[in-house]
Amino acid sequence: MQIENTSIEGCFIIKPSVFEDERGAFFESFNQQKFEELTGLAINFVQDNQSISKKGVLRGLHFQKGEYAQAKLVRVIKGEVMDVAVDLRPDSATFGKHVSVILNGENNLQLFVPRGFAHGFITLSAEAIFAYKCDNYYHKSSESGIIYSDPDLDIDWKLSDTEIQLSQKDLVLPFFKELNN
């Protein structure tokens, strides 16, 4: 496992060691001890989630507020997505900035998104199976988000607006400057 820093402190790209032979491939998708050694973070993941999305489905930008904030370790099992994390930490030098990374079932990269970030992804392949670990349980009354098309965030989602599919909930999310952090 290798850790690569991103342009935002606390967000890491994780590259597992993949062992391939004529039978196929094997890799360790998570190892608590190695994760702690390489990141210096003691994270206790308590919930695993998985979604299946068709091309153009954009899920996000989501986060949970207050004591229910979540750190996430995200990856793609099948297909390809562009994954985005937006820094919502008011005291951060990168407040309001985002990092994006292409995750797919071939590169096996993972993105660690710490607490205090909004998170979202868009499916670039015909279908994608997206899996992630959370260090806090889902709490409906603490959920929030930011509209994907926020001009202040200026995220290039790689697909045109006519190709993007959103849930009704994600269509009415507030703008970044409307958040009460």
Q: Does domain 45-172 have CATH number 3.30.930.10?
A: no
pLDDT tens digits, 12-25: 999 999 999 999 99
pLDDT digits (tens, 9 = 90+) for 44-99: 999 999 999 999 999 999 999 999 999 999 999 999 999 999 999 999 999 999 99
Partnered with residue 142 across adjacent β-strands are none
Res. 162 pLDDT band, cuts 50 70 90: very high
CA dist 69 and 89 (Å) reads: 12
Residue tagged active-site, from 98, 119, 132, 148? 132
Contacts of 171 (CB under 8 A, 6+ apart): none
Tokens 């269509």 identify what position? 171
Tokens describing residue 149: 């098309």
Contact indicator for 43, 135 with CB cutoff of 8 Å: yes
- Least Cα distance to 109 among 130, 126, 127 occurs for 130
Query: Among residues 62, 98, 119, 148, which one is catalytic?
Result: 62
> Domains of the chain: which residue ranges?
45-172
Query: What's the pTM?
Result: 0.94
Is residue 132 flagged as an active site residue?
yes
Sequence-distant (≥ 6) Cβ neighbours of residue 9 within 8 angstroms: 92, 93, 94
